[in-house]
Amino acid sequence: MTDNGTPQNPAPGYYYAAGDPAGTVRQWDGTQWVGDPMPAPPGAGGMVESDKNFAGLAVRLGAAVIDFVIVIGISFAGLLLFGDVDTSDNGFSATGGAEQILIALVLMVFLTWMIAVKGATPGKLILGLTITTEDGETTPPGARKAILRSLPYLIGNIPVLGFFVVVGALIASIFMISSDPENRSAFDRIGDTRVIAK
């Protein structure tokens, strides 16, 4: 830090700002302080400096929407192929009990495999995002972190309870990404991962 409390290294990142409460960091955009002080991540020693471009809320929501559209499209196609489809004069309906659950599980296994092996879901690949380990370097994060990261979605296949788990994780993620120095979501915290924008 210089005498006036600005970082000696002008690189954007999160630093302790002179005059802020101990144990907090504030965003330095390369020329000035931005936002309010926030608690420093554990082990940061009051300063976080990173050259990583952690993906923000807007681009991550965009990737989630793309993934959602892909999952809905594949699920609908699966129901057409394997479900009970009624195209009578009363309209169109497709139902599937065990088929629907099986399709959902296959999709979740596939998306978890993509995270473990490719370091991204289809939506993240399209928007140039990668999922890394906690150091922000290693990608793909591997099977264990991918499974942990996907856990809320896997639980989402449980009737009723699963819906609340997934919706709760998504809502919590919006607030977490907006307030975390590394833009970590609930899924990132569970899997100890980070999402980097290329």
Per the listing, tokens 């169109």 go with 92
Greatest Cα pair distance in the chain: 79
Per the listing, tokens 């309010």 go with 36
Q: pLDDT, tens digit, for every residue of 52-71?
A: 788 999 999 999 999 999 98
Spatial separation of the C-alpha atoms in residues 124 and 130, rounded to whole Å: 7
94: confidence class by pLDDT, cuts 50, 70, 90:
low
Spatial separation of the C-alpha atoms in residues 191 and 184, rounded to whole Å: 10
Residue 117 has pLDDT above 80, yes or no: yes
Q: Where are the extended beta strands (E) located within the chain? A: 13-15, 24-28, 33-39, 84-86, 93-95, 129-133, 193-197
Q: pLDDT, tens digit, for every residue of 28-43?
A: 777 888 888 887 765 5
Contact 111, 121 (CB under 8 A): yes
Q: pLDDT, tens digit, for every residue of 124-147?
A: 999 999 999 877 777 899 999 999
